[in-house]
């Protein structure tokens, strides 16, 4: 069946929507602007990052479970997850990568000592040149002044551009809110002097929260004394999740 | 001399329409764009505060040790000194706020120890691992090891 859309109808509907939108925004927007003062936290004094020591990760999944609890991550979605890499001989171009349920309940033990095997914890890389931030059409995904890539879920349209733009697969659409969601580096914790939930729960200190602007932070020694690599350096995202002893097979 | 403005009406009228249009645009923009947009960059500055205000579920090692100094001291001397309390006991911020109302769930020893310490070729060699079935013959880990200080 053919429907007739007249110019008058489009304009009338458009005007109604505009007026309605303005009214809703006016009501919802006003009380949300909370004052910055009084928190004692100045975002410009920090630059948050994370260091990950591959050789300390035992694949227990504590970080995944802690993240789920701390950030109310919906079942089947992950802000952080752990991958197990299996590489046979020199075939580092075809690693076998598994992450059952994000590694949340650990991994089935392997007895095969002829393979090279190791665990790689992953999360948002909080890039300094984030592709996800660059593609967001409305400014719902942004770099905070302290170097954390955050999502303003009340402003997100759910257009999914950023989900496709992230080279690391760190974003998902929240099944209930239908807006994008991702690791916030526990922004609600690190700005209060706590560490992230994943670092809090990691039994071997494979992960450490780092503040690059704090000269006393062990991250500086970590970067200086170890063989450090970021994921997909050729993407020029200037990732801030620094891996120690990262194998070349890791994507 | 002729008045130079005698034919200006055709300029003034579109100018008025333009100014009216600009006013409508500015008013709508004022109403639609959130107040804090652009405070730090191309985003709503207030979002930073909103995200920051989310409640924490993990209290942190220091909070646990404040009320449980004995356990903290035992742990600090043992091999599990790098393992934070909530790594095994779970998120306990609600327990810290109201210890009577919210009790942390009992730790499932059988499941928990094995998750880290079951032998796996993918685990780094420095990490202490056992084949639980051969190691204990089905006995509970607690029968020999104290989790806060897991020496024999």
Looking at residue A83, what is its pLDDT? 97
Residue A54: which pLDDT band, with cuts at 50, 70 and 90? very high
Q: What is the mean pLDDT of residues A55-70?
A: 96
Domain that includes residue B100, residue range: 46-105
Could you please report the per-residue DSSP string of A59-76? ---HHHHHHHHHHTPPTT
Q: Does one domain contain both B53 and B95? A: yes
Q: Is residue B70 pLDDT above 80, yes or no?
A: yes
**Is the CB of B93 inside 8 Å of chain A's CB atoms?**
no
Instruction: Domain ranges for chain A, please list them.
Output: 131-181
| Residue A75: predicted pLDDT | 96
Cross-strand partners of B47: none
pLDDT at A33 over 60: no
- How confident is the model over A115-139, as pLDDT tens digits? 999 999 999 999 999 999 999 999 9
Rounded to whole angstroms, the Cα distance separating A152 from A176 reads 16
The answer to whether the pTM exceeds 0.90 is: no
Closest approach of chain A CAs to the CA of B92, in angstroms?
Answer: 11
Q: Is 50 exceeded by the pLDDT of residue A207?
A: yes
Is residue B112 a part of any domain in this protein? yes
B143 found inside a domain? yes
Length of chain B: 152
pLDDT surpassing 70 at residue B139: yes
Please determine, for residue A10, whether its predicted confidence score (pLDDT) is greater than 90. no
| Per-residue pLDDT reduced to its tens digit, B111-128 | 889 999 999 999 999 999
Cα four-point dihedral sign B75, B76, B79, B84? positive
For residue A72, give the chain B residue with the closest CA: B57
Contacts of B115 in chain A (CB under 8 A): 60-62, 105-106
**Nearest-CA residue of chain A relative to B116?**
A60
The CATH label, of 3.30.70.20, 3.40.50.300, 1.10.10.60, 3.30.450.40, for the domain at A131-181 is: 3.30.70.20
- Antiparallel, parallel or unpaired: β A207-211 and A172-173: unpaired
**CB pair distance less than 8 Å for A110 and B41:** no
| B99 and B54 both lie in a single domain | yes
| B86 contacts on A by Cβ (under 8 Å) | 66, 200-201
**Whether residue A37 has pLDDT greater than 80:** no
What is the spatial distance between Cα B149 and Cα A163, in angstroms, rounded to a whole number? Answer: 45
Describe the crossing of helices A7-32 and B9-32 by its angle, rounded to 10 degrees: 50
In angstroms, what separates the C-alpha of B95 from chain A's closest C-alpha?
14
Interface predicted TM-score (ipTM) of this complex, two decimals: 0.86
The answer to the question of residue B7 being in a domain is no
Residues 6+ apart with CB under 8 A from B150: B78, B79, B80
Q: Read off the tokens for A212.
A: 């690059």
Q: Cβ–Cβ of B120/A59 closer than 8 Å?
A: yes
CB of B92 within 8 A of CB of B104?
yes
Angle ∠(A217,A220,A224) on CA atoms, nearest 5: 155
pLDDT-derived band at A56 (thresholds 50, 70, 90) equals very high
Residue B36's H or E segment, with its range, is none
User: Is the Cα torsion angle A32, A33, A39, A44 positive or negative in sign?
Assistant: positive
Q: Is residue B152 part of a domain?
A: yes
Asked whether residue B82 is domain-assigned, the answer is yes
Substitution target from A107, A135, A139 for chain B, most B beta carbons within 10 A: A139
Give the pLDDT score at A30: 38
Give yes or no: residues B81 and B51 share one domain. yes
CA–CA gap between residue A53 and residue A76 (Å, rounded): 26
A14, pLDDT greater than 90: no
pLDDT tens per residue, range A170-192:
999 999 999 999 999 999 999 99
Strand A48-53 and strand A241-244: the pairing is parallel
Backbone dihedral region of A103: left (phi > 0), alpha (psi from -120 to 50 degrees) or beta? left
Structure tokens at B92: 């306990």
Option in A22, A139, A184 nearest B31 (CB): A22
Put simply, the chain B residues between 108 and 127 with a CB less than 8 A from any chain A CB are: 115-116, 118-124, 126-127
Q: How many domains does chain B have?
A: 2
pLDDT surpasses 80 at B91:
yes
Q: Do B50 and A58 touch (CB under 8 A)?
A: no
Q: What are phi and psi of A206, to 5 degrees?
A: -70, -30
Q: Which of A43-52, A159-168, B2-11 has the lowest mean pLDDT?
A: B2-11
The overall average pLDDT reported for chain A is: 90
CB contact under 8 A, B52 and A188: yes
Contact B116 A192 (CB under 8 A): no
Percentage with pLDDT > 70 across chain B: 99
Minimal-distance CA residue of chain A relative to B81: A203
| Residue B102: count of CB within 10 angstroms of its CB | 12
pLDDT attached to residue A18: 59
Closest listed residue to residue A166, CA positions, set A151, A178, A155, A186: A151
Nearest in space to A233 (alpha carbons), one of A224, A243, A219, A223: A243
Nearest alpha-carbon partner for A44 in A55, A54, A36: A36
Q: Are B59 and A197 in contact (CB under 8 A)?
A: no
Q: Are B136 and B112 in the same domain?
A: yes
CA B127 to chain centre: 28
């Amino acid at each position: 069946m053919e429907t007739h859309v007249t110019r008058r109808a489009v304009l009338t509907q458009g005007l109604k929507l505009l007026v309605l939108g303005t009214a809703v925004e006016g009501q919802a927007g006003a009380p949300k602007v909370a004052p910055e003062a009084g928190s004692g936290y100045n975002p410009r004094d920090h630059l948050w990052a994370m260091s990950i020591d591959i050789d300390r990760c035992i694949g227990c999944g504590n970080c995944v479970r802690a993240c789920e609890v701390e950030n109310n991550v919906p079942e089947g979605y992950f802000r952080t997850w752990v991958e197990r890499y299996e590489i046979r001989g020199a075939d580092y171009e075809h690693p076998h990568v598994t992450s059952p349920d994000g590694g949340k309940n650990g991994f089935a033990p392997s007895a095969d000592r002829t393979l090279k095997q190791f665990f790689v914890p992953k999360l948002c890389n909080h890039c300094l040149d984030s592709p996800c931030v660059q593609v967001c059409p409305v400014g719902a995904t942004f770099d905070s002044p302290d170097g954390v890539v955050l999502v303003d879920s009340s402003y997100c349209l759910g257009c999914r551009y950023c989900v496709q733009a992230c080279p690391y697969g760190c974003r998902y659409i929240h099944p209930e809110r239908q807006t994008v969601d991702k690791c916030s580096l526990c922004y609600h914790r690190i700005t209060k002097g706590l560490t992230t939930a994943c670092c809090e729960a990691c039994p071997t200190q494979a992960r450490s929260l780092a503040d690059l602007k704090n000269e006393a932070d062990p991250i500086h020694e970590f970067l200086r004394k170890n063989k450090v690599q970021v994921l997909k350096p050729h993407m020029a995202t200037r990732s801030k999740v620094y891996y120690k002893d990262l194998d070349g097979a890791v994507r | 001399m002729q008045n130079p403005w005698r034919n200006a009406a055709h300029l003034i009228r579109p100018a008025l329409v333009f100014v009216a249009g600009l006013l409508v645009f500015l008013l709508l923009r004022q109403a639609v764009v959130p107040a804090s947009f652009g405070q730090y960059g191309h985003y709503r500055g207030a979002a930073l505060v909103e995200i920051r205000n989310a409640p924490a579920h993990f209290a942190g090692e220091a909070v646990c040790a404040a009320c449980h100094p004995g356990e903290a001291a035992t742990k600090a001397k043992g091999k599990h000194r790098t393992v934070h309390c909530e790594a095994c006991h779970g998120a306990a911020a609600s327990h810290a706020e109201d210890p009577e109302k919210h009790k942390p769930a009992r730790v499932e020893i059988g499941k928990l120890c094995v998750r880290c310490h079951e032998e796996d070729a993918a685990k780094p060699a420095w990490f202490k691992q056992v084949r639980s079935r051969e190691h204990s013959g089905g006995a509970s880990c607690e029968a020999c090891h104290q989790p806060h200080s897991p020496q024999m």
